[in-house]
Structure 1
Amino acid sequence: MIDAIDRQIVHAMQVDGRAPFSRVAAVLGVSEQTVARRWRRLRADGVVRVLGLTTPEATEPSWHIRVRVQPAAAGAVADALARRPDVSWVSLTAGGAEITCSTKPRTPRQRDALLLDRLPRTVQVIDLTAFSVLHAYVGGPYEWTGFEDPLTDEQIAALTPEQPRTASPPLALDPEDELLLAALATDGRLSYAELAGVTGWSESRVARRVDALRAAGTLYFDLEIASELLGHPVSALLWLGVAPADIAHVGESLAREPETAFTAVVTGPVNLMVAVTCRDTAHLYRFLTDRVGALPVRTLETSTVLRRVKQAGSLMDGPRLTDPEPPPVRGR
């Protein structure tokens, strides 16, 4: 049974996915052993996972894809997409006849292989629409925070990592970063010693590189949450059309709502995509009428998620997150 302390631990890890258990314990007013024990249980039960991810600006542009398929083939096509390491957030929507997903290709060739070759040649695919992400609202105030008992502003401030006093220059990814990033993408809380074992680097070199990538905004730590297990089983994707002059205002406003898990400015027939997670359909209705309805939105299409197949990096087993394959190790 997930209780208030569990939910606050989850919220704390959302603020800083690499926060030491001792700091979380001090902020919540419980023992370090309590935090460690409960976190291990939440991980084992498939409720949460911390991932180390690169920002969209650090790689090729991300894409969101809507694939209309023959209903009988939707499950098989979704499962095949979910197995691809460059594809995330795979969901069945629109009565089971549509698949939505996100892809973050490392190279133009990888992008073209999926969008121009693999998917169009799949016989079960009726059509697809690809939206390039121009701007994504990620991290900090843009995280989903629909907790029943969220942390206070003071607690959030105590857990928020210190920002560098001077802005770091953009930091390009190096080919040697591949193993480090692959390891963090499977478990963002791996220790420096564990990361050293994966990369073949010294612990000090690992620590310096993680700190540098993080300070430059190239690397961030995201908390995957099995929201249904926290009492929020209703998810939906909103596709909004707004006037160009209103894009920044509407995007920023919706991204800061507690129910919003992800917001992006995209190309295509709409210009904003928003993912929301709610307690029930009545909650979703109020979000659409009260929050979205108060903004200068010209058009709105809502697709409820019937089944989540994959999140940012975790395949789903019903409502639970599954453990990924172990990260590759240098020399193997």
Structure 2
Amino acid sequence: MVSVTLDALDRGLLQVLQLDGRAAFSGIARQLGVSERTVARRYRRLCTLGLRIVGQPVPLRLGMTRWLLRIHCTPDAAGTIAEALARRPDTSWISLASGGTELYCAVTARTPHDRDALLLDKLPRTPRLVSVSAHCLLRLFTGITSTWYASGLPFGRAQETDVLLPAAELHEPVGPLTLDATDRALLAALAKDGRAGLPELAAATSRSTSSVQRHLDRLRADGALGFSVDFDPQHLGYQMMTHLWLRVAPGELSTIGTTLAAHPEIAFAAATTGPHNLVASGVFRGSDDLYHYLDHRVGSLPGIQAIETAPILREVKRLTPAVA
């Protein structure tokens, strides 16, 4: 990876975008105390380094179910299986871990039939696949991501939970929101560029800018749409990404999940089914940083009965919203 230098202004811009991916450059400039032109220039530079702002539908709000798959396969088949899963529109995040024999795959199922077609039909017939365990994500404690790895920007997230987490994720589930053709076209356009302007969105949806604005406002207000920042954490000095599987006392699940969500190292945390009832994804500067986090930050929390760590070796697919 080419070495780059990011200063406090770059980091500040990234942090503001985490709070609102569509924040206007003028508003960002006021928050950071610089000119709008400077913000636009820094944003373009970060984009050359891989920065993406991605609009994401919230599966729970749209009546869809999220699953995390742990797939064990033979070493010679891991890459092939991962690439095949990456081509599916219902997968959003795929990584290789545990010596290249274990895959993690985030899947969003629109219907029980779609779920069963993958879990009960397609995967069992895949050559050189050893085992599959499917874990239903029950409650998210961080972000709006339906794609497993949300942002990887581990600096100061004190205010993020209230800003990023839609009402559909924070409170008891409500009835699924019905989407029309304009909504679906708008979500597809925002998945490519979450900061696309109203004229571009109007062209993509064949609607007027005023109609697009109304649909956009409705989707955000109803908790069906959020925005995530995708930026390689290695540019920020974080060289290790790790999955954490935790077994937590049932009565402590919400407390532990909320606590992890407030940790700047944690990009994602969710309650899940299975022998480990809480799963998280964290970013760390290195192995010593991870050890300190496990020993001093997590290990001291009451209610945690066991922790399993699985460092990520390679990301095959990330931050790709499933089709709404």
Corresponding position of 1:54: 57
Q: Which amino acid aligns with 1:146?
A: P
Q: Deviation at 1:143? A: 6.9
> Would you say 1:304 and 2:308 are equivalent positions?
no
Q: Deviation at 1:301? A: 0.9
Q: Deviation at 1:70? A: 0.7
For 1:229 and 1:72, how far apart are their aligned partners in 2?
31
Corresponding position of 1:277: 283
For 1:145 and 1:44, how far apart are their aligned partners in 2?
17
Report 1:124-135 matches (<5 A).
124-135=128-139
Q: Deviation at 1:171? A: 6.4
| Kept after mapping to 2: 8 A contact 1:50/1:189 | yes
For 2:234 and 2:15, how far apart are their aligned partners in 1?
15
Report the 3-state secondary structure (helix = DSSP H, G, I; strand = E; otherwise coil) of the residue aligned with 1:62: strand
Query: Measured at CA, do residues 143 and 311 of structure 1 come closer, stay the same or move farther in structure 2, by a change above 3 Å?
Result: closer
**Structure 1: any 5+ residue segments left out of the alignment?**
315-326, 328-332
Query: Measured at CA, do residues 170 and 187 of structure 1 come closer, stay the same or move farther in structure 2, by a change above 3 Å?
Result: farther
| Kept after mapping to 2: 8 A contact 1:143/1:260 | no
Report 1:1-332 matches (<5 A).
1-46=5-50, 48-58=51-61, 59-139=63-143, 145-147=153-155, 150=156, 172-176=177-181, 177-295=183-301, 296-313=303-320
Q: Which amino acid aligns with 1:309?
A: V
| Kept after mapping to 2: 8 A contact 1:236/1:305 | yes
What RMSD over aligned residues (CA atoms) do the two structures have, in Å?
Answer: 2.5
For 2:6 and 2:206, how far apart are their aligned partners in 1?
39
| Kept after mapping to 2: 8 A contact 1:171/1:218 | no
For 1:37 and 1:236, how far apart are their aligned partners in 2?
33
| Kept after mapping to 2: 8 A contact 1:60/1:108 | no
The two structures have a TM-score, normalised by structure 1, of: 0.85
| Kept after mapping to 1: 8 A contact 2:153/2:231 | no
The two structures have a TM-score, normalised by structure 2, of: 0.87
**Structure 2: any 5+ residue segments left out of the alignment?**
145-149
| Kept after mapping to 2: 8 A contact 1:238/1:301 | yes
Runs of 4+ in 1 over 4 A off after TM superposition: 142-145, 150-153
* Number of aligned residues: 303
Q: Which amino acid aligns with 2:141?
A: Y
